[in-house]
Structure 1
Amino acid sequence: MLYRILGLVVTVVAVSGADVCRLPSRLWCSSRKTADDCQVTQQCSAQDWSHETAAPPVNLVLYYESLCPFCKQFITDQLFPTFSKLSTDVLNITVLPFGNAEEKKEGDKWEFTCQHGRGECEGNLMATCALKTTSFNSTAYLPFINCMETHATEHAIWPALLLNCAARNNVSHTDISSCMKSDDGNELEHQMGVATKAEGVDYVPWIVVNGQHTNETQEAAQTDLLKLVCQTYTGIKPAPCTSVLSTDLKVSFKRSRKSKLAKKRHY
């Protein structure tokens, strides 16, 4: 079964021994690389890219794990606040809860081993099932995940946290709980792992912006994500961008003015 995991992520995983794209068909035209890998470049070029007129949203993909302290900090201090200020037309977010976990097949199911213990594996699965329960709609699942990470600790009691965060954010705790016990939930968490390993994630949080991961982008995202998104977005800047971008202009103007005065004094 294919799952709508990656939003507009360009990661493609080929089936071993066959040249077959495993992304859902609705994602095949998300980038030229994806279209090439899925062998539909000509069709995508004719149907999609030639008709693009509006500025595309900034696509941000977060690879993380539920009990990673720096992941928690990024989600609660940067990702969710920025998401709350910008529309999905400006910022498109995809999250993949897996991180540095390992997996192996035991019978018909996957067994996961996580960096921060069994509790983290449970948290990863809960987040993954929240994605599925909300049909991978970031507007619906991100408030829930932010609630999870706000209260997540090494000794977190996930069932109680699930009830609390689901009630606060209008998400079905029953559906998430059922998913966590199901074969579908187990397989979906495996797919999160497949996509994470395909990306070549070395550490978490691992942040990809418009298909690119660099040290500079990573640092900028963790320092001031709103500013990074505003600078990256090519359309008309939304109101929340005004303050962060105007600050840059003021700093630039002051530096330019000081430079001119220094030259006058020198000559």
Structure 2
Amino acid sequence: MSVTYMMRLKIVAFVVVCFLLWQTLRHFPSFSEFSNQSLSHHWETVVPSRVPPIIVTVFYEALCPDSRSFFTKQLLPTFEKIPHLIQVNLVPYGKAKTETVEAGYMFSCQHGPLECQANKIHACAISKVTQPDTQLKYTTCMISDNMNPEKIGEECAQEHGVKWKSIAECAAGSEGDELLKRHGDTTNALYPRVNFIPTVLLNQSQDSQPAILKDLLREVCTRLQEQRLQSVPECG
């Protein structure tokens, strides 16, 4: 067998092997695709899903000085700093009492009838103003000077672009009574029972009340960091 023939045979064999290898590899994803798929799968399994915001539930009274202080110095400033990291739920009732009468409901409030009227306006505002930032700014504006509930309600409505008419009609009618009664049911269902106003829950927990009332932002950030197991840049 000649040397030339042997060389040709080796070349043919080499070509055949290369062709077979190419046919095999063309059915597999490229390295970059494989790497991207692997990394994507790894990322999905290791990185946790987005942690939900902290739910801040505030049980308060419209004429309560401590409630006013909490709204203006803690609640609104905290919301303005981390609006996407907290969800605010407002419950205007406090230490009021509800009596069922033939015409509907009769309310008695810790700071007198004027507070019942103001609480009712707050309840209607919470129902009618559904945009979170506008709702909180509006209720904070009202609670800053709630000694004339209708006057301040209308003035704050103009300031924050809120439709006062629907709130006023709600507060003057049975809808306002029903809303306030519902807030009373929510307040009375709280355990332990409310003994200080405001009472503030973080994710349904009443723990650390003095700390929450003193520095809401810090307490919210602490819970966010515990949930995420890492620091939260917005809290820095």
The TM-score with structure 1 as length reference comes to: 0.66
Contact kept, 8 Å, 1:99 with 1:204, in 2: the verdict is: yes
Unaligned 5+ runs, structure 2: 1-47
Q: Determine if the alignment matches structure 1 residue 96 to structure 2 residue 91.
A: yes
Deviations 1:16-71 (A, max 9, x none): xxxxxxxxxxxxxxxxxxxxxxxxxxxxxxxxxxxx82111111111000111111
Q: Determine if the alignment matches structure 1 residue 174 to structure 2 residue 186.
A: no
- 1:163 shift after superposition: 1.3
- 1:207 shift after superposition: 0.9
- 1:222 shift after superposition: 1.1
Unaligned 5+ runs, structure 1: 1-51, 243-267
Residue identity in the other structure for 2:145: H
Match of 1:210 among 185, 203, 208: 203
For 1:122 and 1:188, the matched residues in 2 are separated by: 12
1:62 equivalent in structure 2: 58
For 2:105 and 2:231, the matched residues in 1 are separated by: 45
Match of 1:141 among 127, 135, 139: 135
For 2:145 and 2:234, the matched residues in 1 are separated by: 27
Aligned length: 184
- 1:238 shift after superposition: 5.0
2:77 equivalent in structure 1: 81
Residue identity in the other structure for 1:172: K
- 1:182 shift after superposition: 2.1
Corresponding residue SS for 2:201: strand
Corresponding residue SS for 2:215: helix
Residue identity in the other structure for 2:135: Y
Residue identity in the other structure for 2:210: E
- 1:201 shift after superposition: 1.6
Contact kept, 8 Å, 1:94 with 1:138, in 2: the verdict is: no
For 1:238 and 1:178, the matched residues in 2 are separated by: 43
Contact kept, 8 Å, 1:128 with 1:188, in 2: the verdict is: yes
- Aligned-CA RMSD value: 1.5
For 2:172 and 2:102, the matched residues in 1 are separated by: 16
For 2:114 and 2:205, the matched residues in 1 are separated by: 31
1:225 equivalent in structure 2: 216
Residue identity in the other structure for 1:194: D
Aligned-pair identity in percent equals 29
1:150 equivalent in structure 2: 144
Residue identity in the other structure for 1:213: Q
Higher helix share: 2
Corresponding residue SS for 1:141: helix
1:249 equivalent in structure 2: none
Larger gyration radius, structure 1 or structure 2: 2
Corresponding residue SS for 1:167: helix
Cα 1:113–1:53 change in 2 (3 A) is same
For 2:61 and 2:117, the matched residues in 1 are separated by: 10
Deviations 1:213-259 (A, max 9, x none): 02xx21111111111111111346554411xxxxxxxxxxxxxxxxx
